[in-house]
Amino acid sequence: SAVISQKPSRDICQRGTSLTIQCQVDSQVTMMFWYRQQPGQSLTLIATANQGSEATYESGFVIDKFPISRPNLTFSTLTVSNMSPEDSSIYLCSGIRQGVWTEAFFGQGTRLTVV
Amino acid sequence: TQLLEQSPQFLSIQEGENLTVYCNSSSVFSSLQWYRQEPGEGPVLLVTVVTGGEVKKLKRLTFQFGDARKDSSLHITAAQPGDTGLYLCAGAGGSGGSNYKLTFGKGTLLTVNP
């Protein structure tokens, strides 16, 4: 199985600040995604991280709030900007291997609390 | 909007009991996946079902994909405390969408008491 490591695993941040979450995947992964999950709840896709170009955002998510970079095949970052308590959630990085669309791998998640 | 309705949302049972979790949608999916997530971890894939009517078994877990590829079920036989976790179903390729985009159900939080 593909290996995905994500950091930080958790953080407590002041409102109005920004946090950047890093995701490193092994070379098997070709597509990368960012999800948000309320504890014990479903996952919501934020965006698809595209290598060397702007991410593709889902409805309800915008680049100014959640800028995403993917400078190479195996690394991506998600920034949560100008945070408010409503941004408190678990953020998950995910990847799919080339040609194996039916299997998604996930990082351990970043639990963010905004105070 | 594609929705996956998952039920029950919460389930607390005793060790040794059987249980079934359901995942239903009005959309047809090219595949449906089941994940299990433990606290502080990301979801881990249990199984993918692709063919309508397909049944897959993973030890004490039995997964079924509906004939119309709109619904699925997960049955656990003789549940053990180690089965405790959040079970999530996810559909791919719903309503002709991209196969790599997953729509997740809300999850079933299972607690198996010793």
CB distance A102–B31 less than 8 Å?
yes
Confidence check: pLDDT of B41 > 70: yes
| Average pLDDT score, chain B | 91
Q: Strand B102-104 vs strand B85-92: parallel, antiparallel, or unpaired?
A: antiparallel
Chain B residues with CB under 8 Å of A40 CB are: 86, 107, 109
Closest-CA residue of chain A to B41:
A108
Chain B residues with CB under 8 Å of A92 CB are: 42-43
pLDDT at res. A64: 97
Amino acid at site B55: V
CB proximity A31 to B under 8 Å: yes
Contacting residues for A61 by C-beta, under 8 A, at least 6 apart: A46, A47
* Token code pair at residue A42: 């479903």
Chain A residues with CB under 8 Å of B31 CB are: 101-102
Give the Å distances, CA to CA, from A7 to A32, A76, A115.
15, 11, 20
Rounded Cα distance, B90 and A33, in Å? 15
Cβ neighbours around B114 below 10 Å, total: 7
Compute the CA torsion angle A47, A51, A52, A53 (nearest 10 deg). Answer: -30
- Asked whether the CA dihedral A44, A50, A56, A57 is positive or negative, the reply is positive
Amino acid at site A90: I
pLDDT digits (tens, 9 = 90+) for B42-92: 999 999 998 999 999 999 999 999 999 899 999 999 999 999 999 999 998
Over pLDDT 70: what percentage of chain B? 95
* Token code pair at residue B13: 């049972």
Helix (H) or strand (E) holding A4: strand A4-7
Helix (H) or strand (E) holding A23: strand A19-25
Closest-CA residue of chain B to A111:
B40
> What residues of chain A score a pLDDT lower than 70?
1, 101
Whether B34 contacts B72, CB under 8 Å: yes
CB proximity A38 to B under 8 Å: no
Give the Å distances, CA to CA, from B26 to A93, B3, B94.
28, 7, 10
CB distance B99–A42 less than 8 Å?
no
Chain A residues with CB under 8 Å of B92 CB are: 101-102
**A-B contacts at Cβ under 8 angstroms:** 58
Instruction: Strands of B55-101 (E only): list them.
Output: 55-58, 61-65, 71-76, 85-92
Chain B residues with CB under 8 Å of A105 CB are: 42, 45
- Closest-CA distance, A56 to chain B, in angstroms, reads 12
Give the Å distances, CA to CA, from B49 to A64, A70, B16, B57.
37, 31, 26, 11
Q: Alpha carbon A42 to chain centroid distance?
A: 15
pLDDT at res. A1: 65
